[in-house]
Each structure stands twice: as C-alpha cells, then as structure tokens.
Structure 1
Amino acid sequence: MDQAVIAPSFVEPATRPVNVGAQARFETLLAALGKPASRGARHAIYNGDCRELLTRVPAGSLDLTFTSPPYNIGKEYETVRPMEEFIDWCADWINRIYRATTADGALLLNVGYVSLPDRAKSIPIPYLLWNRVPFFLQQEIVWNYGAGVAAKKFLSPRNEKLLWYVKNSERYCFNLDDIRDPDVAYPNQKKKGKLRCNTIGKNPSDVWQIAKVTSGEGRASKERTPHPAQFPLDLCERSIKGFSPADGIVLDPFLGSGSTIDACLRWERYSIGFEIREDYCAIAAERIADAQRQTASLF
C-alpha cells in the first residue's frame, strides 16, 4: 500500500492528540451498547442482530453510517426472503439508523441489484426502497469496477450504487478537499491570470472507478479475507474521508470483514461494527489486529 495514504491512526492514543469530547462520546455509546466481542481505543465490534443493537444506540449518536447490507440474492451469509419482506426489513433498520444519527449526520448505503419475476432481470434495490427511507437523498454515486460477471445476452454488469443520504439537506458533512482527484489534465491552465482548477485537485465526480476485491488463485487482491463479499479499502477510505467529520463516530451495521473499521482507524474516526455471524466478527477482529501490527512497525 502506498505509504502516503496511511495515517498514524493505529498508534496508541497517548502518542498523538486526542479529542477528549469525541472520546467521551464514543465511550458513552459503548456503555449503552454493552460489552463488545472485541474492541480497541477507537473501535468496537459487536456480535448480534443490527436491529436489536440499534435500539440501544442513544438518539443522535452517529455521524455516519456506511454499510452494504445483504442483497437478498442467496449469498452464504443471508436467507433469501420474499421481496416485500426484504424491503420491509431494510426499511426497519434504516429507520433505526435515522433515529440514531446526529442532526447533521448521514447514511452512505451501498446496494446492488435483484431480480423480480416477470418484471425485471436486474433492478437496483434503491428503486424498491425510494419511498421507505426517511433520509434526504443528496446524491447517487456510481461505483464502477473492472472485474465481474461476463455476460453474453446482456451487457456485463460493472457498477453498483452508493446512495448518499443526509438527515438535513441544508447542513451536512462534505469534505471535498480530502477526496479531490489530483489527476488534473491541465493543472497550470489559467484564465485572466488565475489558475482555472483547484491546486489540490479536481472534484472526483459522482462516478468512482475503484477495483473490487477479487479472489482466486493468482488474481486475489492483497487485502482479500475469507469473507465472500468484501468492501474494497479504497472505497471505504474515500467514503470515510469525504462524508464524516474528523474524530466522528461511524457505524457499519453489516460489518462483514471489517473494511469500514480498518478505514476509520487509518483516518482517525471512531468506529463501531455490528455483525450477526460470530465467524465474521473473528475475521474482522484479526484483520484489524493485523493492520495495527503492520502500521505500528512503520513508527
């Protein structure tokens, strides 16, 4: 990994400044949730159903929820439900997240596609959720990637959606300078003697080209874990940096392999993960511990 993007977030808190107010807010939240399966100074993992755990989260505690729920397509970690039941289930936990979110907080939701008999081969899940989400939809981000299913009778699918929801359409966190794209075609171009572009970089737009985490002999990504559906760390880092405040509290209610917590620790956010499967909690905990060991060796 490019050392330039690694923040010293895994070093013990005593070696860097600590936002005492943020730490106290984090500890208060953990006290409300109870004993975690594992934790560190700035993160905690809870083994349990996110809906039940969300009922313990005090209202207005979360700055950002960033997650990718099951898509109801038969993966090993989910039970396929009738579509109406699946949408009701999604609406349930999204409403619980809304209650737990700060007044200027957000939900960044990664969702894919499902089939509807006699209606659609592949319909984006957001189309089925559009009137069930209490948040304000600020923007749809298209996550474009290269690897995927090779199709013959339709276009090969190469994108998923990231829905950026905010609680207050007039006041929300957006750290554009932290996620600018430095690849500017004409960085020195001027108009009337002034540079036409930001010296930090350009707005990355609402289409993000980020590689998926691949598997298989000879082609597996370096960050690959045993989890079958893993968030790319690059996607997590851009999302965490762009849509949560420094020292903010980030939740992933479907933690999986722990990518969200990994990204949060690299960029000095507090993070909490809910995961219903005990084996996935163990995968995430080991991944985070390994990242801590590797990063600590750089200092």
Structure 2
Amino acid sequence: MNQTIDTVQPAEQTVSSETAAQARFETLLAALGSPYARGERHAIYNGDCLDLLASIPAHSLDLTFTSPPYNIGKEYEDVLPVEAYIDWCERWINEVHRASRSDGAFMLNVGYVSLEGRAKSIPIPYLLWDRVPFLLQQEIVWNYGAGVAARKFLSPRNEKLMWYVKNAENYCFNLDEIRDPDVAYPNQKKKGKLRCNTIGKNPSDVWQIAKVTSGQGRASKERTPHPAQFPLDLCERVIKGFSPTDGIVLDPFLGSGSTIDACLRWGRYSIGFEVREDYCAIAAERIDDSLRQSASLF
C-alpha cells in the first residue's frame, strides 16, 4: 500500500534542531577561545589557521569553504618554494579533514602558480591531487569576465573550485537551492510531460560569476579594501548548495568576510580565521553593516 509521508517538520522538531545547532556552535567557540568579534551565529578569530584548527574538536564542521593564499606574492603572503607551499597546504587541509563531520565537505578555491622550467601557470590542484585526504567529488570551473589582458597567451578567465567530501555515499548537496532558472525551453514536453525541472536546470560544473572588481568607475558595489575578495554570489551558491541549514561553516582564510556574510544571509552558523588583524577589522565592519541593512528591511 502506498503511504503519503508528511515531510513538514513539526514546530517542536524545528526548534529542537535549531537549539542543537546553536549548542554545537557554542561548544566549538568555547574550544577556540575568545574571538576577535562575534554575533549570535558567527565568530571571527585573529590568528594562524594551523593553531586555530588544532583547537577544533574532531567531527565538528559541516563545510569548510575557503581560498588560501596562492603563493604568488600578494601583500598578505610570504612566497615559499613551491614544495614548501604544497606541504603547508597539506598540513592545514589534514586538520580540516580531522575537524569535519562524517558527512562533511570541503570546498577549495585555488588558482595557479608557475614552476620554473616546467610550467608558466599550473593549477594548484594538480600539485595537491595526492595530498588531500578527502574524496574529490568534482572539479568546478569558475569562469569570469575581468582579469589579466594577455598578448602572448590566452587571457586567463577561470579558477578552480574543488568539491571534496569525506564520505562518498553521505554528503550534503542541495541541488534545488541552486538551480539555474534560465531554461532555454521551459515548456518543452516529452510524452505529455515537461522535460525540465520547473524550478530550473542544474547549474553544471562551469559557473559564470563575476569577480569583485576594483578601480575608478568600475569597482563592484561590494568592494572592500581587501585585495583579493570572494564575490558574494559565489559564496552564496556554495553555502546554499553544499551545507545543511543550521550547519556550521568554517573559512580558515577569511579575508574580507564574504563567507560569513553569505552564511548569515542563508541561515548557517559560521566561523572565520584570519591571521591579519586589519583584515579582521574589515570583515567585522562589513558583517556589521550587512546585519544592519538586513535588520532595516524588517
């Protein structure tokens, strides 16, 4: 006999779930110590990610989403020999793996480095492929319009997002939350039934999302003083698609605070680590402004 199941959660169960998530978050913050700044659902810590990651209890995080320094000489990094840089990446990624829940995930945004005599520009994942303890679920190509204008090679217009999971059979993927509503033939039918999902299509593994630009007359509205800023659109897609509601998300290289901003917009708890205090200040001010703007709408 077919049985209809009511999937709407009772109010008591929803409250219980939120209470449990809040308790997990507070336990995690207690283990990390006093933050640089915090709110009801977020916290910023000023410190080295390896030291802070070591303080996180095992099996605590639902998602880690970050973009580490690329080792290309930006103002916030000391350039290391490539092998030393990859060793450093392996160390903090191993800590992320330990701190992730059994159904947790790791979304890594990385770019390119040069290898003298071997490669002008090689994707960092190619150097990390056998050093990451997670299962590589999928490579996502982030395509954007603005970038270096090249004359002796093709103008680079992409970076990688590596989607890693801890358990190949049990992980979070909220496809309906990130479907693309731009469907070419929304009313096309086969045998009388619509061929496409009425919510939208799968966004595929190539994401066209604009970078955060700077400069007179062309700076993005969300631009902060940070020199390498995650676009909010990118962060929101990752947070909505790859973390559970009320989940705990970590960004160990917080930068301007885009990950926390996205988490607060979509009901997640979030923690950010940032080694530079001036960047912590940028992130904290940005998040406070975002919260004030949200409050003014109600």
Normalising by structure 2, we get a TM-score of: 0.94
Aligned to 1:273: 272
Mapping of residues 192-231 of structure 1, within 5 Å: 192-231=191-230
| SS of residue paired to 1:21 | helix
User: What is the alpha-carbon distance in structure 2 between the residues aligned to residue 58 and residue 200 of structure 1?
Assistant: 39
Report the AA paired with residue 166 of structure 2.
Answer: K
Aligned to 2:168: 169
Aligned to 1:98: 97
Identity between Structure 1 and Structure 2 (%): 83
Q: Post-superposition shift, 1:178?
A: 0.2
Structure 2 residues without counterparts, runs of 5 or longer? 1-13
Aligned to 1:3: none
| SS of residue paired to 1:296 | helix
More divergent stretch after superposition (16-25 vs 71-80):
16-25
Report the AA paired with residue 123 of structure 1.
Answer: I
Aligned to 1:10: none
Aligned to 2:245: 246
Q: Count how many residue pairs are aligned between Structure 1 and Structure 2.
A: 284
User: What is the alpha-carbon distance in structure 1 between the residues aligned to residue 182 and residue 222 of structure 2?
Assistant: 25
Aligned to 2:3: none
Q: Is residue 2:87 matched to residue 1:66?
A: no
C-alpha offsets along residues 67-122 of structure 1, whole Å, 9 cap, x if unaligned? 00000000000000011100000000000000000000000000000000000000
C-alpha offsets along residues 196-254 of structure 1, whole Å, 9 cap, x if unaligned? 00010000000000000000000000000000000000000000000000000000000
Mapping of residues 73-222 of structure 1, within 5 Å: 73-222=72-221
Structure 1 residues without counterparts, runs of 5 or longer? 1-15
Report the AA paired with residue 205 of structure 1.
Answer: S
C-alpha offsets along residues 97-154 of structure 1, whole Å, 9 cap, x if unaligned? 0000000000000000000000000000000000100000000000000000000000
User: What is the alpha-carbon distance in structure 2 between the residues aligned to residue 54 and residue 236 of structure 1?
Assistant: 21
Q: Post-superposition shift, 1:295?
A: 1.0
User: What is the alpha-carbon distance in structure 2 between the residues aligned to residue 244 and residue 293 of structure 1?
Assistant: 25
User: What is the alpha-carbon distance in structure 2 between the residues aligned to residue 281 and residue 79 of structure 1?
Assistant: 19
User: What is the alpha-carbon distance in structure 2 between the residues aligned to residue 218 and residue 183 of structure 1?
Assistant: 29
Aligned to 1:8: none
User: What is the alpha-carbon distance in structure 2 between the residues aligned to residue 233 and residue 102 of structure 1?
Assistant: 25
User: What is the alpha-carbon distance in structure 2 between the residues aligned to residue 255 and residue 85 of structure 1?
Assistant: 22
Q: Post-superposition shift, 1:65?
A: 0.2
Q: Post-superposition shift, 1:297?
A: 0.6
More divergent stretch after superposition (17-26 vs 186-195):
17-26
Aligned to 1:286: 285
Q: Post-superposition shift, 1:270?
A: 0.1
User: What is the alpha-carbon distance in structure 2 between the residues aligned to residue 244 and residue 154 of structure 1?
Assistant: 38
| SS of residue paired to 1:107 | strand
| SS of residue paired to 1:19 | helix
Aligned to 1:40: 39
User: What is the alpha-carbon distance in structure 2 between the residues aligned to residue 294 and residue 138 of structure 1?
Assistant: 36
